[in-house]
Structure 1
Amino acid sequence: MSQVVKRSELVVPMAVATIVAFGGSAEAQTAPTELPALTVEAEKDVRKPARPRKAAPRRASPTTARPDESAAATPAASETVAPVATAPVPGEGGTNPNAAPGAPYKIDRSASSKLVRPLAETPRTVVAIPKEVMEDKAATSFRELVRTTAGITLGSGEGGNPFGDRIFIRGFDARNDVFVDGQRDSGVAVRENFATEQIEILKGPSGTVAGRGSAGGAVAIETKKPFFADHYEATTTLGTDATRRIDIDVNKKIDETFALRANGMWQKAEVAGRDQGRDDRWGGLLAATWRPNETFKTTVDWYHVDIDQLPDYGVPMYDGKPMTEYGLSRGAYFGLAKRDYLHYKQDIVSAKTEVMLGDGAKWTNRLRFGSSDYDMVLAKPGAASFDPVTGLFSGRSSTTSHVRRNDSLAMTNDVEFHADTWGVKHTFVAGFEMMREHMVVGSKLCSIGSTGSTSTCTNAEGVTYWSYSNIFDFDFSNLDPATTYTSNPNETTVSIDTKSLYLSDAIDLTDRWRLDLGARVDDFEVERTGGISRHDTLLNWNAALTWKFWDNATLYAAYGTSANPIGAELDVTNASYGGIDATTSALAPEKNTSYEIGTKWQLFGNRLLASAALFRTEKDNARESVRSGSTTVWSDGGAYVVQGVEFNVAGKITDRWSLFGGAVFMDSEVTKSAVAANVGKRLGRNAHETFNVLTKYEVLDGLTLGAGATYKSRVYGGTLAEATWSVPAGWRFDLMAEWKVRPNVTLRGNINNVFDTVLFETPYENAAQYAHIQPGRVGYLSLNVKY
């Protein structure tokens, strides 16, 4: 791939870096050197005084005074005092308001109003990834972050499933179990991290928290919100593979009641290690917070992202292995670079209102309208063949296309309130949710030779299928088919209406013993073009007992359920990928049951959180396809189990040493299947052993060095049980360095996949056709300026 960057394409990022750096530096140097007076004007907490209790206090309400919401102090005018080093206060200077003071890798509390306890005392595995970890990993996309997160496997976009953020958590498909600011982000998506504050991965069935699906867990993304202080930040990144990127974060305190925040991102880049590929993006987030008094707060925001990519299904497979195992270059590209594309656009308008009701009670309302457009035409390679006579590997590529238009409207209301019953303290969260999801599923028609219903066409230029007699010696990069693609009028619509009621109770039995209970009812109704529909009522519950045997350590046992109704994966109409059709509409919801025993420890002055858990999840009514003569029928009589152990760590060991990482070791087994040969096999599409660690150390004042290591075990194909084809296991190593040139200017360097190791995401699940390959070695240099 070309490494040449036009001089004109460097003008904008370099200009922004120069202006912001010198402007920020000048302002920083001319600011008064006097320390503020010790008197700080802060908000008053109008709630009644908390009842005396020996256990750790409940999480503060968002309207309670926080350091970032204090009024500006008056500078002292009489004398200059030498500054005293203090730990950064969460929420100030654009830092994460949920992070531990002075330890940004450690998240102290969830952004969800449904999880009321500190994460160190929450009886479930929650991996909270702050933006600081994303920055140190140079993970600008959700997909790249998943590559280096233990316990999650990236799935592939298949012939019937669009290419997007498909993930598996603890062995279970979770592509529609992603939430943004507390609301489901349904449908296929290609997500960016420029406006992300933190990402929480809730492990284990989360039916009482997330609703439908969430068999292995759910992902909760929290976006950046306004705070009551002025903050200006810009980052310019230049890198290999013609990478140019700008990130801007501006927060403005208008007065004591009103604040604005704007985030922007622009990127032009190619794809590392691939002969063809582009990854161009731009987006923005505008948010406003109004807080007229101490009991009312509302935030309204608008998010937009626009992505233009040349995606890539990877390399062909032969005899169950990627062709790179036989000497094929990792960069070999089997598409039509002048034709193929992926265009994705998303707009979200949301509002969150919090009202203190007295006596510590709080009402939270969330509204969200989301709209996205997904349009893709690209080629995918088929399986390779070997001719022993000629000694050549041959193959064939084919065209696939997807069009998805998705609209969703959601409202969530919940009330948190407290009560005492016979000396036992309760924190209740009761809520009601409504959501309407509407998806239009379509494809593209070729303007030459189309048959009226197919998404492909055949002509002399071979844009539907084209063959190559020697995989090691071909090049279609310059092929420019004289065809155009238009939307297929034969579209399918899928609509889902969900109404939910939920109640949770966090009970402090004693200072050391806690009981957490929850229940949720979801009324789920899906309807598809052609009168195909399904209506289910889903009842799920959870229970957990926690023993705080030391002030800094807990031991817990938890139980939870969830359900997967047919049609919940509304991004597809193909039954093979979870869609509803005439052959599956009668299938019962899949039932998931999870058991977890775990422990959590706060170490090194409560600046590091370490956890370990044993888990087991059982699925009944599992769907599978079964051959009946010459036809395929669907059954809901399957069952399987996933169990394992997980370790996580996040925070600081010393003032200079930060650590973040995890390890998951799973086993799985198909326990029941209509296909006798499947029983006893492990599940396909998952890495059963994953490991990641990121560590950094401030070796000198202002100079920090860091490194990361990631391991993912072999991943086999298969729609249920493991198939015979697979992609190999592999290690990836990353390096980073950070130098504070000035207090407000930081230079960061990243090298990801230092040894340019050939790594894979996953193989095609239905047949040994192709394998998704990860990017190669990349290097970035970023200049960050803030003031």
Structure 2
Amino acid sequence: MTEQNKLSQPLTLRSPQKLAGSGQFYRGALALSLTGILSGSPALAQEEEPIMLDTMSIEDRTLDTNPYAEPGAPYKARVSGDKRRVKELAETPQTITVLTQTAIKDSGKSDLRDVLAAQPGISLGTGENGNAFGDRYVIRGHEARSDVFVDGLRDPGMTTRESFAVEQIEITKGPSSTFAGRGSTGGAVNSITKQASTEYNFSKVEAGVGTDAYRRLTLDSNIKLSEDLALRANVLSAYEEVPDREPAERERNGIALSSAWQATDKLDLVADYYFLEASDLPDLGSYIDSSSGKPVRDIPVYSQSEDFLDSEVETFTLRAGYQLADNLRLENATRYGSTDNGYVVTGTRGTTLSTHQGWQEVEYLANQTNLYWDTELGGKAHQWVFSAEYTRHDVVNGVYDYTANGTPNCGTSYCIADDDGNYYSDLHNLMQRSISKGDADSDYNIDTWSLALMDTITLDDQWSVFLGLRLDSFDYHNVVTSGGTASEWDYSDELWNGHVGVVYQISPVANVYLSYSTSANINGGESDVGGSCGYGGLCGEVSTLGQSQPERTENIELGSKWNLLDDKLLATLAVFQMTKDDVMEGADYTTTGTLNTGKNRVDGVEVSLVGNLTEQLSVYFGASVMNAEVLESYNDGVNMTSDRSGNPVLTSDARGKTLANFADKSAYLQLRYQLSSAFAFGVSANYSSPVYTGQPDSAANEDLGVPSYTVYDLFASYAFSDKLTTRLNLGNVTDKDYYLTAYRSGAFTYLGDRRNAQLSLTYEF
């Protein structure tokens, strides 16, 4: 490997290295450059004086210690935080969208759901009784609620996720089962957390206040205890009322601790602890008028005073890395975690109130071992990754018992308006429920053993190839109780998936690539639904279980990446076609013909431009134009076709329709202008085309949906000194009334936040 390639490798705070070496494993060069940037190293300034002066000014004013970002371009990530991706992002043959810590802070968004909802190619799904409320994402038209990862390990369960301990968020578009394992049909989300480092000492406290009783306090402190040992702590306390929707409210409290210890010259250890408690009084927004097919506007808040949406996450992670040789490194990560999620929330069906409720307890264990080997075979440079993983997910879903004690105001029900459309007073105390935790209705676990082999081959100065192959062998066990009767499923299978990517460097700054990847998901594999039909859950008769096949997806992507302006600006273009086959359909999988009868396709174009347009102007832009089509579907009594094996399959007029919860056009633009060394300001705009209701992997009901929207935000920051800065965020400055997504029946629609403002002060010491 050339000396230049050595220097291009990223510093990882998870395994700080002190030895000099090659490839993936020795990253001290960037560590020295970062330290030099922060301290104004004379040696480095002599070698690259013009660049370092520019880099130093931007780093000072952003207070950003993200080791994965491009120095001097705080919106641009240079490398992935997942070390299995051995090439820089500009050389990786796949669409990977990365939001750095600076870009997230400038956006004014903190919950992961809000951050992702603004990204092109991503829409939101809703919860309900059989599909727990919590963060739920749809990437390129397909469910991704179980395709969420933290530092490369799956983060199961329907919970609320926050960004206070996140260094950057990486969104992989298209199937990536070689890395992610089962699922990842439309893509996957991987949050890279802030880790302890022996490279520097700092402490930052940020306090914010704003409209709607907003208050937020965070602490980020990294302490270098010795040359070999460091500790880092991130603390969060936040509260706000939902803008213009009082008494709906959101509260977040969390802590993330990390320690890094270079035990010997060859052995390094990292231990992490994470805790987050989220408590909401939810607002399910409006509902869709069946006559117009559009949401009812200006609806008051009808949440009941006893409503709640509470989630709690606690995880412990231990990582160990051992340098076996200059070009050979072994790493192991073990994580134990648990999540609790419970909710009783109120929706509307027309003007009649409805109750949605449930609880979920998740306990999980993951152990992942990766062996990295850089070598030369046949005269070609190979970067091998050998991976073995074991995961165990134990999930218990249940219900709440509740009784409505209030006096019904419309027959035997509760309504928010009378026959003349006049809203009742005291809407928040109509039902007056008494609530207690009820019995479990689903108790299941999934044990998975995985083996993966990946190799990145540098053929010459222009050509490189990525090859990946993965086997996931799982045992699925589920006991579902309904009406006092328990049904038990046992199901085992193996999933094989692969990934091939070829990159051709057409110039020193530009390349084109062609990629083919697959994914597979077991029926019933979504970890939040158990035996709930129609949302990824396995149900029906035990006798039909063996007839079901994994749902399989393949993706073909042709793209180009341009690393411009001295690597400060990355432009990407990708054209893709993603086909999902053997889709389980319907709410009754026991009906003849409904096993693995669905097929759909999403094709489209995605572009992005991220980094510095000039020394003063930073940009984060992405846009996606897609088309989704149901190719095959089951419905009684209409037409006949056959599957790949020649078996008859009934189809319906669902064929040719778009998918539910799918925005075919979406875009996000964020601009930041550094007017002076102290003052910066910016604007962001988020656009989404209409989204129609329905259940995942099914044809949308184009008679019910939410309209398109464009929302504008503003932000500005001022540095009083190197240590003290302030930032102002104005969200939804035009006070747009807009809707993010809708429940499949249209009974409720999520409202986007109305106009809001926050002012924060950051002090570094």
TM range (shorter): 0.7 to 0.9
Residues 340 and 721 of structure 1: CA distance in aligned 2, closer, same or farther (over 3 Å): same
Q: Secondary structure at the match of 2:169?
A: strand
Q: Secondary structure at the match of 1:677?
A: coil
1:773 is matched with which residue? 751
Q: Secondary structure at the match of 1:725?
A: strand
Residues 45 and 223 of structure 1: CA distance in aligned 2, closer, same or farther (over 3 Å): closer
2:471 is matched with which residue? 521
Given the alignment of the two structures, is residue 289 of structure 1 paired with residue 260 of structure 2, yes or no? yes
Given the alignment of the two structures, is residue 262 of structure 1 paired with residue 233 of structure 2, yes or no? yes
1:763 is matched with which residue? 742
1:438 is matched with which residue? 394
Q: Secondary structure at the match of 2:284?
A: coil
Q: CA contact under 8 A between 2:540 and 2:588: conserved in structure 1?
A: no
Q: Secondary structure at the match of 2:523?
A: coil
2:559 is matched with which residue? 598
2:45 is matched with which residue? none
Residues 477-501 of structure 1, C-alpha deviations (whole Å, 9 max, x = no match): 4417554211112432111101000
Correspondences of 1:371-386 after superposition (within 5 Å): 371-382=338-349, 384=350
Q: CA contact under 8 A between 1:566 and 1:585: conserved in structure 2?
A: no
2:653 is matched with which residue? 677
Q: CA deviation at 1:60?
A: 5.2
1:121 is matched with which residue? 91
Q: Distance in 1 between matches of 2:311 and 2:478?
A: 24
Correspondences of 1:246-645 after superposition (within 5 Å): 246-319=217-290, 321=292, 325=296, 328-329=297-298, 332-336=300-304, 338-382=305-349, 384=350, 395-446=351-402, 448=403, 460=407, 465-467=413-415, 468-470=417-419, 471-479=421-429, 483-529=433-479, 530-572=487-529, 573-583=531-541, 585-586=545-546, 587-625=548-586, 634-645=594-605
Q: CA deviation at 1:770?
A: 2.2
1:226 is matched with which residue? 196
Q: CA contact under 8 A between 2:159 and 2:312: conserved in structure 1?
A: no
Q: CA contact under 8 A between 1:626 and 1:674: conserved in structure 2?
A: no
Q: Distance in 1 between matches of 2:69 and 2:40?
A: 27
Q: Which has the larger displacement, 749-758 or 583-592?
A: 583-592
Q: Distance in 1 between matches of 2:212 and 2:39?
A: 47
Q: Distance in 1 between matches of 2:59 and 2:718?
A: 22
Q: CA deviation at 1:533?
A: 2.2
Q: Secondary structure at the match of 1:574?
A: coil
Q: Distance in 2 between matches of 1:546 and 1:409?
A: 36
Q: CA deviation at 1:582?
A: 3.2
Q: CA contact under 8 A between 2:692 and 2:742: conserved in structure 1?
A: yes
1:784 is matched with which residue? 762
Aligned mate of 2:606, from 638, 642, 646:
646
Q: CA deviation at 1:413?
A: 0.1
Q: Distance in 1 between matches of 2:17 and 2:664?
A: 51
Q: In structure 2, what residue type is equivalent to 1:466? A: Y
Given the alignment of the two structures, is residue 748 of structure 1 paired with residue 727 of structure 2, yes or no? yes
Q: Distance in 2 between matches of 1:215 and 1:511?
A: 33
Q: CA deviation at 1:415?
A: 0.5
1:726 is matched with which residue? 705
Q: Distance in 2 between matches of 1:489 and 1:136?
A: 44
Residues 442 and 615 of structure 1: CA distance in aligned 2, closer, same or farther (over 3 Å): same
Aligned mate of 2:215, from 203, 219, 244:
244
Residues 385-425 of structure 1, C-alpha deviations (whole Å, 9 max, x = no match): xxxxxxxxxx2111121111111000000111022222111
Any unmatched runs of 5+ in structure 2?
1-15, 43-48, 480-486, 636-651
Residues 444-480 of structure 1, C-alpha deviations (whole Å, 9 max, x = no match): 012x4xxxxxxxx677458994124255422444417
Q: Secondary structure at the match of 1:363?
A: strand
Q: CA deviation at 1:710?
A: 0.7
Q: Distance in 1 between matches of 2:589 and 2:726?
A: 63
Aligned mate of 1:61, from 15, 26, 50:
26
Residues 744 and 181 of structure 1: CA distance in aligned 2, closer, same or farther (over 3 Å): same
Q: Distance in 2 between matches of 1:268 and 1:608?
A: 36
Q: Secondary structure at the match of 2:116?
A: helix
What's the TM-score, normalizing by structure 2?
0.88
Q: Secondary structure at the match of 1:621?
A: strand
2:169 is matched with which residue? 199
Correspondences of 1:653-692 after superposition (within 5 Å): 653-675=613-635, 676-692=652-668
Aligned mate of 1:106, from 76, 82, 99:
76
Q: Distance in 2 between matches of 1:128 and 1:664?
A: 15
Q: CA contact under 8 A between 1:295 and 1:356: conserved in structure 2?
A: yes
Residues 294-322 of structure 1, C-alpha deviations (whole Å, 9 max, x = no match): 42221101110111101122212112657
Q: CA deviation at 1:359?
A: 2.9
Residues 119 and 628 of structure 1: CA distance in aligned 2, closer, same or farther (over 3 Å): closer
Q: CA deviation at 1:139?
A: 0.9
Q: CA RMSD in A?
A: 2.6
Q: CA contact under 8 A between 2:20 and 2:28: conserved in structure 1?
A: no
Q: Distance in 1 between matches of 2:611 and 2:534?
A: 42
2:10 is matched with which residue? none
Residues 74 and 63 of structure 1: CA distance in aligned 2, closer, same or farther (over 3 Å): closer
Q: In structure 2, what residue type is equivalent to 1:549? A: I
Q: Distance in 1 between matches of 2:556 and 2:550?
A: 20
2:19 is matched with which residue? 46
Q: Secondary structure at the match of 1:445?
A: strand
Q: In structure 2, what residue type is equivalent to 1:538? A: L
Q: CA contact under 8 A between 2:395 and 2:445: conserved in structure 1?
A: yes
Q: Distance in 1 between matches of 2:137 and 2:173?
A: 13
Q: CA contact under 8 A between 1:320 and 1:768: conserved in structure 2?
A: no
Correspondences of 1:73-152 after superposition (within 5 Å): 85=53, 87-88=55-56, 95-152=65-122
Q: In structure 2, what residue type is equivalent to 1:591? A: R
Residues 62 and 297 of structure 1: CA distance in aligned 2, closer, same or farther (over 3 Å): farther
Residues 502-523 of structure 1, C-alpha deviations (whole Å, 9 max, x = no match): 0001011111001110000000
Q: CA contact under 8 A between 1:315 and 1:322: conserved in structure 2?
A: no
Q: Which has the larger displacement, 171-180 or 148-157?
A: 148-157
Identity %, equivalent residues: 31
Q: Distance in 2 between matches of 1:628 and 1:635?
A: 6
Aligned residues: 706
Residues 298 and 461 of structure 1: CA distance in aligned 2, closer, same or farther (over 3 Å): farther
Q: Secondary structure at the match of 1:635?
A: coil
Q: Distance in 2 between matches of 1:321 and 1:294?
A: 69
Q: Distance in 2 between matches of 1:211 and 1:424?
A: 28
What's the TM-score, normalizing by structure 1?
0.86
1:7 is matched with which residue? none
Aligned mate of 2:124, from 145, 149, 154:
154
Q: CA contact under 8 A between 2:405 and 2:434: conserved in structure 1?
A: no
Q: Secondary structure at the match of 1:615?
A: strand
Q: Secondary structure at the match of 2:102?
A: helix
Q: Which has the larger displacement, 352-361 or 620-629?
A: 620-629
Any unmatched runs of 5+ in structure 1?
1-42, 51-57, 77-81, 385-394, 449-456
